[in-house]
């Protein structure tokens, strides 16, 4: 921790990648966070401009820099394309900044998996061992003292929150099928012409049906939670909306386990979790828009346990989850900066 983080002082945070959807979400939330000070916002493409002048709706007066200066902050929150954080993290850590990475570079413990799914060598495989995949409700202790924290991807977050308690408690077989539906913002702001409005409006599109990069993340996390190998089948779909994910998770109840058993386990695990909401019916995904909430409902067909897990891919699936992890890691108020309520309609 840099010296600047003294008792009584506010935590100094910097955002790398502040012109993308997730990064700009961080800028908005951290700028209003009562217990931190947003000291730097970086964007290579827009360096030199004030954030509020180039990002729609921004209230941030800071002038963007090309690269964050880790010596002048306590924590870097990064929302960069794959590969970019792996290159920078070493320097950030060496200069005393902790790192919370929304991107994929430190999610997969094994560099061979990274090469397999991202098509390039990992730039800093030596740092993988110290990286913590943050699961704030399911493995709260893992964040203690962590300096390099990776967030699971948006789909993975929905799936892990949806399957976690059943898997941890061995109520289900260690094989999970996740069918997810996501808003288009998951593709980011630099997406190509196939993400133009007329191409994606009024339509549903399955993609990466043979295998998506979030699948190994899910398998690693659920395997660790289960204490035994847990396999995942995963298919994502794009639906014509901006924000939101519904992950419909299909699990197989072990013999003798009832739906009520599963519901009791979820209530137990998430009883004190301020951002998790259990309901009898599936939530409409837009209830989560702009919030850090995850809504869960449990159902049964035959011996299948079906969990509907609903969150905002840019909120709990990205920016606000990063703030939640920040709060938890640094002992801030758990809900600080995350008070946004559901809105209907």
Q: What is the three-class DSSP state of 178?
A: strand
Q: Say how far apart CA 23 and CA 41 lie, in whole Å.
A: 9
Q: Hey, is 222 helix, strand or coil?
A: helix
Q: How far apart are CA 270 and CA 285, in angstroms?
A: 19
Query: Of the two residues 109 and 241, which places its CB atom closer to its own copies in the complex?
Result: 241
Q: Which helix (H) or strand (E) holds 51?
A: helix 51-54
Contact criterion met (CB below 8 Å) for 215 and 160: no
Nearer to its own copies, 131 or 251 (CB): 251
Active-site choice (60, 154, 249, 308)? 154
Is 297 or 324 the residue whose CB approaches its own copies more closely? 297
- Let me know: does 178 contact 248? Beta carbons within 8 Å: yes
Q: Identify the three-state secondary structure at position 138.
A: coil
Report which of 275, 210, 198, 255 is spatially closest to residue 236, judged by C-alpha positions. 210
Question: ∠ at Cα 217 (212, 219), nearest 5°?
Answer: 95
Spell out the long-range contacts of 46-52 with Cβ–Cβ below 8 A and sequence spacing 24 or more.
46/19, 51/18, 51/24, 51/27
Q: Residue 66 CB, nearest distance to its own copies (Å)?
A: 20
Question: Nearer to its own copies by C-beta: 48 or 302?
Answer: 302
Q: Which is nearer to its own copies, 107 or 215 (CB)?
A: 215
Distance in Å, CB of 339 to its own copies, minimum: 8
Q: For residue 133, what is the enclosing H or E element? A: strand 132-133
Would you list the DSSP string of 71-131? Answer: GG-SEEEE---TTHHHHHHHHHHHTT-EEEE-SSTTT-SSHHHHHHHHSS--S-GGGGGG-
Least distance (Å) between residue 21 CB and its own copies? 6
Residue 29 Cβ, how far from its own copies at the closest point, in Å?
A: 9
Shortest Cβ 324–its own copies spacing (Å) = 18
154 counts as catalytic: yes
Is 70 exposed, middle or buried, given 0-12, 13-18 or 19+ CB atoms closer than 10 A? buried
Q: Which is nearer to its own copies, 297 or 327 (CB)?
A: 297
CB of 93 to its own copies, least distance (A): 31
Residues involved in catalysis:
154
């Amino acid at each position: 921790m840099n010296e600047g983080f003294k008792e009584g002082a506010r935590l100094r945070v910097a955002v790398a990648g502040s012109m993308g959807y997730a990064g700009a979400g961080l800028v908005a939330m951290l700028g209003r966070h009562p217990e931190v000070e947003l000291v730097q916002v970086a964007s290579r493409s827009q360096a030199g401009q004030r954030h509020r002048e180039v990002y729609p709706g921004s209230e941030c007066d800071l002038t963007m820099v090309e690269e964050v200066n880790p010596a002048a902050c306590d924590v870097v929150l990064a929302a960069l394309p794959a590969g970019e954080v792996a290159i920078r993290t070493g320097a950030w850590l060496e200069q005393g900044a902790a790192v919370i990475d929304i991107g994929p570079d430190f999610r997969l413990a094994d560099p061979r998996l990274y090469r397999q799914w991202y098509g390039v060598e990992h730039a800093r495989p030596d740092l993988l061992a110290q990286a913590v995949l943050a699961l704030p409700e399911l493995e709260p202790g893992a964040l203690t003292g962590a300096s390099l924290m990776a967030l699971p991807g948006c789909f993975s977050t929905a799936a892990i929150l949806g399957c976690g308690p059943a898997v941890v408690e061995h109520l289900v077989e260690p094989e999970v099928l996740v069918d997810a539906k996501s808003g288009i913002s998951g593709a980011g702001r630099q997406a190509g012409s196939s993400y133009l409005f007329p191409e994606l409006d009024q339509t549903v599109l399955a993609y990466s049906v043979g295998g998506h990069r979030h699948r190994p993340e899910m398998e690693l996390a659920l395997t660790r939670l289960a204490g035994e190998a847990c396999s995942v089948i995963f298919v994502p779909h794009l639906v014509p909306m901006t924000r939101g994910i519904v992950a419909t998770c299909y699990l197989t109840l072990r013999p003798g386990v009832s739906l009520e058993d599963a519901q009791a386990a979820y209530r137990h695990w998430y009883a004190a979790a301020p951002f998790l909401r259990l309901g009898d019916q599936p939530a409409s995904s837009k209830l989560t828009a702009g919030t850090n909430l995850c809504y869960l409902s449990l159902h049964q067909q035959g011996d299948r346990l079906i969990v509907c897990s609903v969150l905002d891919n840019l909120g709990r699936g990205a920016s606000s989850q990063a703030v939640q992890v920040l709060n938890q890691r640094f002992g801030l108020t758990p809900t600080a900066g995350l008070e946004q309520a559901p809105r209907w309609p």
